Amino acid sequence: MSKKHTERKGTQTHPVSLITLIDPSSPISEQFRTIRTNIQFASSADRQIKTIVVTSSGPGEGKSTSSANLAIVFAKSGQRVLLVDADMRKPTVYKTFKLSNEVGLSTVLSTQKSVLEAAQQTTVENLSVLTSGPKAPNPSELLGSARMDQVIDEARNLYDIVIFDMPPVVAVTDAQIMASKADGTVLVIRENVSRKESLVKARDLLKMVGARVLGVVYNGAHHTKDQGYYYYSN
């Protein structure tokens, strides 16, 4: 008789960075819902978008915050969502949601533990998180492995949307590897932080692996009284 596996549960948390939870009526939250809608419109029967890579050109541009808030607005629309912290070098998602990081993506990739066994439920209905897991010495090799392909397939079968929070694409090859596997990629940039040459390089690196760039999230813009997130579709 097979064992029934269920997700572990996280603790209650509403960090300030999760603007879509603490202030769902804010202009920024509305921008994240607009991003969700644009991605949904880009998805078609013959070219579904279920797996999404979120990356940036460099550090400090807000890709992890964007990943978390995007995951929340998808979950709030009634879709089953898995947010995967695939930044195994500098993981932050487990801190954002106050989850254990003892078991996570690195565990699933290096053992036969399933996605469902390792994923943790959050306090947000329909949203689960697969944390990065224990530090791995070879993140790029793990992400490029056949086992990673199996993990993606398993996640696609379990969830409606799977969002991968990746390291910056210019810094390491991890985001390139995953962008080549995912249905779409979103690039996050920040006003007064992102450098033009880095953005050009990020675009070229993603293009090199045949990534489908869905659009760019431009955050930190001061066009309203709130710091904004603006989305430019490809």
Bin 181: left if φ > 0, else alpha if -120 < ψ < 50, else beta: alpha
- Give tens-digit pLDDT for 56-75: 987 777 899 999 999 999 99
**H helical segments located in 3-111:** 19-22, 27-42, 63-76, 93-96, 105-110
How does residue 46 score in pLDDT terms, banded at 50, 70 and 90? Answer: confident
- Angle CA 139–143–144, to nearest 5: 115
How does residue 16 score in pLDDT terms, banded at 50, 70 and 90? Answer: low
- Give tens-digit pLDDT for 126-172: 999 999 999 999 999 999 999 999 999 999 999 999 999 999 998 89
Task: Indicate whether 230 pLDDT > 90.
Answer: no
**How far, in Å, CA of 211 to CA of 214, rounded?**
9
How does residue 25 score in pLDDT terms, banded at 50, 70 and 90? Answer: very high
Task: Indicate whether 117 pLDDT > 70.
Answer: yes
**Residues 6 or more apart in contact with residue 188 via CB below 8 angstroms:** 54, 55, 56, 61, 62, 63, 66, 216, 217, 219
Phi, psi of 35 (to 5 degrees): -60, -45
More confident call, 230 vs 152: 152
pLDDT at res. 172? 92
**How far, in Å, CA of 38 to CA of 108, rounded?**
31
pLDDT at res. 227? 47
Tell me, rounded to whole angstroms, the distance of Cα 47 from its chain centroid. Answer: 19
pLDDT at res. 44? 82
pLDDT at res. 50? 97
Please give the radius of gyration of the chain, using alpha carbons only, rounded to the nearest integer. 17
- Give tens-digit pLDDT for 170-211: 889 999 999 999 999 999 987 766 677 778 888 999 999 999
Task: Indicate whether 13 pLDDT > 60.
Answer: no
**How far, in Å, CA of 25 to CA of 78, rounded?**
18
pLDDT at res. 199? 83
- Domain 8-233, CATH: 3.40.50.300
Q: Which residues of 191-204 are buried (b: 16+ CB within 10 A; e: fewer)?
A: eebbeeebbeebbe
